[in-house]
Amino acid sequence: MFRGREIVFKEQGELLLLRFANELEEFGKAEQLPVLEGKKMQMVIAPKKK
pLDDT score, position 46: 95
Please give the DSSP secondary-structure letter assigned to residue 27.
Answer: T
Q: What is the mean pLDDT of residues 25-42?
A: 93
pLDDT band with cut points at 50, 70 and 90 for residue 49 = confident
User: Residue 38, Cα to own-chain centre: how many angstroms?
Assistant: 15
Q: What is the pTM for the complete model shown?
A: 0.83
Given a cut of 80, whether residue 50 has pLDDT beyond it is: no
Given a cut of 80, whether residue 18 has pLDDT beyond it is: yes
Report pLDDT digits (tens) over 20-33: 999 999 999 999 99
Give CA–CA dist 1/36, Å, rounded.
9
Residue extents of the structural domains in the chain: 4-47
7-38: string of b/e by CB count within 10 Å (b at 16+)? eeeeeebbeebeeebeeeeeeeebeeebeeee
